[in-house]
Chains A and B, each alone.
Chain A
Amino acid sequence: MSNNNATQPEISKNASRGSLPPMQVSRKQAEKNSVAVMCADNVNVFYGNTQALYDVSIDIEQQQITALIGPSGCGKSTFLRCLNRMNDVIDNCTITGQITLNKEDIYAPSVDVVSLRRKIGMVFQKPNPFPKSIFDNIAYGPRIHGIAEHKDDLEEIVVDSLNKAGLFNEVKDRLHNSALGLSGGQQQRLCIARAIAINPEVLLMDEPCSALDPIATNHVEELMWELKENYTIIIVTHSMQQAARVSQQTGFFHMGSLVEVGKTEQIFQNPVDKRTHDYITGRFG
């Protein structure tokens, strides 16, 4: 925990640097390039009497991929689930501290969880398509949020999302077949397509490749690179190689605290904290 004090200035330094390479402007907010979309401030999470997270503070930057790494049970998934309030459904889970999306507290009583989750999409560890057709899987979000007014609009969104997820060519002939007939990798890309169909600002990915083979993993990683142009992505991963490959910013969790956060190259080449160094060199974890 003593580290938090050390890491916090680090974050603000990163945030204020603003020297990131210019990105393709495809969203309104893109001009405020270096502005943090989501900020977590001293987040503590308790499951009953057990504390799962200790004073986690991190800034998530716009249109970047932030990787959260750490050994199993270190709290990285818990933290990710706090970001779109998926922990709300767990009965004895309490959260203190502040998490903001575009400077608005997402745990404020006035916030509607449903519309919050519209802005913060999520992809899970195990592909979990609905037991419906491929089309209906993707059309579900736009339907319940009333995004598409006409049938044609809906079809456009579905095709567009599938295209973005690089899945359209593989499934265009069987859009109305059950999604459960797809392979694991295809299902995961379908889940990503489903998440981006409602055009979220932030995309949370909880170990999206852990159930996939290397080829499918490669697909998904390439997809993340493309999605980065339009979305802010936070990915929890067990694979340090994956974090090094895809992310610009990396946070290292250990025993419920965020030990170190910084630019990915810096974390992997020149970690400040000894525990980070030990973990990425494979001494534990």
Chain B
Amino acid sequence: MRNEDSLYQKKRDRRRLFADFRFRVYGILGLVLAGSALLFLLGNIFSTGYSAFQQTVITLEFNLDAEILGVTSTASPAERQEANAAKVAKNGLYVLFPEVKKSKDKRNLTKLLSLGAELDIRDLLIDKPESIGSSVTLTVPMSSDVDQYYKASLRGEQFQSRLDEQQKKWLQILIDKKIVEMQFNTDFFTRADSRYPELAGIGGAVVGTIYTLLICLLIAFPLGVAAAIYLEEFSRDSFMARMVEANINNLAAVPSVIFGLLGLAVILNVFGLPRSTPLAGGIVLALMTLPTIIIACRSAIKTVPPSIREAGMAMGASPIQVTFHHVMPAAMSGTLTGTIIGLAQALGETAPLLMIGMVAFIANVPGAPSDPATALPVQIYLWAESAERGFVEKTAAAIMVIIVFLIAMNLLAVLIRNRTRISNK
């Protein structure tokens, strides 16, 4: 009898150990799967997007002839703005190819240059009017087609380019003259959206996102913390309190596009806030983030031991003093972590912003939260549906930027959590 028992026991033990082992293998498999999926995704984005951080540029000499420009060095800034910079830019290229005479060929030749060349010259005219009449050497961007072709040729790839044979020949001559090179694309970080891929940047979207998140934080954080404090510390357990609680939990699960519709109907149409602005976007995202912050803050408050509250009360602290002197400092790390996670969620949100018009094409970097702007995820969405080939790498690069933002925010959350945990010891 005993023997049988122990045999059974042994079998059981072996089975149990095997189950243990099996579970561990499943876990490792799951991790490997998730890790490789992430690596694949990141690798894909990185390999497509890294080239966007570089731009093909050409160094040319431009003759800032007052006659061609149509302005003199004494002209007003408004007049200088109207100067014929395009002609100067084209001439800079024509002088290298005196044999090109036909206007059709000339037009094809100028397609090598980006509109950015003209813009750079105009900027120079506005900043330094004294340079009119002289000759300047500038490094200006080349067109997106050249950029794509040159990058592909550097990688040694065969590439279906939109450049024709003649243009390729001209480009080869320029490359042989060693005036074409790759440069770090600072424009990508400072410029706003553009119809020309080589000029499109995420500067506008980044600034728009920062304004939007700032508005979102300024509204959602105080409101969320105040609501959590009230619900957790002051409200009595009534039917109303339970209703509010249930609704907050439901609100956290509402699809974000609904918040966008609410923003459209209430914030834009009823309150008449300007469309496409970070102000309206921030308010909508604040509504969306609010439940997340309330829930995080409430659970942080719940973890504060009641003995601390009793200690405070027994010392004669009023309920408000107990809350702000003892409960909130202890609950702050959880609250901040929840807030940052909520903001990170808001950072990646596209749908509600589409509804309030932040999807518009905006070519200027916004100067204030009330200026029309777009946000990073919306910018990605816009570029992703552009037909131009140059936007493919821009899309991937913008995704890389948003991932960096997300990682930075999550790191900040971890940092805050660790720091307060240490100080509590």
A residues in contact (CB < 8 Å) with B: 84, 86, 89, 91, 114-118, 121-122, 124, 126, 128-131, 140-141, 144-145, 178, 180-181, 191, 194-195, 198
Name the A residues within 8 Å of B325 (CB-CB): 140, 144
Contacts of B237 in A (CB 8 A): 91
- Which residue on A lies nearest to B236, using beta carbons? A91
Nearest A residue to B326, CB-CB: A130
B424 in the interface (beta carbon within 8 A): yes
Q: Is B315's CB under 8 angstroms from A198's CB?
A: yes
Q: Which 6 A-B pairs give the minimum distances between C-beta atoms? A: A122-B314, A128-B307, A118-B316, A117-B316, A128-B311, A141-B315
29 A-B pairs, CB-CB below 8 angstroms?
Answer: A86-B313, A86-B314, A89-B313, A91-B237, A114-B316, A114-B317, A117-B313, A118-B316, A122-B310, A124-B307, A124-B310, A124-B314, A126-B307, A128-B308, A131-B424, A140-B315, A140-B317, A140-B325, A141-B316, A144-B316, A144-B317, A144-B321, A145-B316, A178-B425, A181-B425, A191-B311, A194-B311, A194-B315, A198-B315
CB distance from B38 to the nearest CB of A (A): 38
C-alpha gap A86/B313 in the complex (Å): 8
Contacts of B307 in A (CB 8 A): 124, 126, 128
Chain B residues, CB < 8 A from A145: 316
* Cα separation A181 to B424 with both chains bound (whole Å): 10
Find out whether the CB atom of A195 lies under 8 angstroms from the CB atom of B313.
no
Q: Contact: A180 with B315, CB < 8 Å?
A: no
CB neighbours (8 Å) of B236 from chain A are: 91
How many CB-defined contacts (below 8 Å) exist between A and B? 63
Q: In the bound complex, do residue A130 and residue B312 qualify as a contact, i.e. CB atoms below 8 Å apart? A: yes
Q: Which of A91, A124, A178, A198 contacts B311 (CB 8 A)?
A: A124
| A122–chain B nearest beta-carbon distance, Å | 4
Q: Chain A residues with Cβ under 8 A from B318's Cβ?
A: 114
**CB-based nearest A residue for B238:** A91
Highest count of chain A CB atoms <10 Å: which of B308, B310, B318: B310
Neighbour of B314 across the interface among A91, A121, A126, A129, CB < 8 A: A121
Kindly state the separation between the CA atoms of A91 and B236 in the bound complex, as whole angstroms.
7
Contacts of B305 in A (CB 8 A): 128
Closest Cβ of chain B: how far from A145's Cβ, in Å? 6
Inside 8 A of B329's CB, which chain A residues have their CB? Answer: 131
- In whole angstroms, how far apart are the Cα atoms of A191 and B310 in the complex? 12
Cα distance A84–B317 in the bound complex, in angstroms: 13
**Docked CA distance A145–B314 (Å):** 13
A180-B424, A194-B315 given; 14 more Cβ-contact pairs under 8 Å = A89-B313, A91-B236, A114-B317, A118-B316, A122-B314, A124-B310, A128-B307, A129-B311, A131-B330, A140-B315, A180-B425, A191-B311, A195-B315, A198-B315
| Minimal Cβ-Cβ distance residue in B for A117 | B316
B316 touches A130 (CB 8 A): no
Q: Which chain B residues (316-358) contact chain A, with CB distance < 8 Å? A: 316-318, 321, 325-326, 329-330
Cα–Cα, bound, A84→B308 (Å): 17
CA distance A256 to B335 in the complex (A): 42
Q: Which residues of chain B have C-beta atoms less than 8 A from A117's C-beta?
A: 313-316
Smallest CB separation, A144 vs chain B (Å)? 6
Known: A117-B315, A118-B316, A198-B315. A86 touches B425 (CB 8 A): no
- Contact call B308/A130, Cβ cutoff below 8 A: yes
Nearest chain B residue, comparing its CB with the CB of A141: B315
Most A CB within 10 A of own CB, among B236, B325, B330:
B325
Docked complex Cα distance between A54 and B284 (Å): 57
* CB <8 Å contact, B310 and A86: yes
**Which residues of the partner chain A approach B326 to less than 8 Å between Cβ atoms?**
130
Contact B315 A144 (CB under 8 A): yes
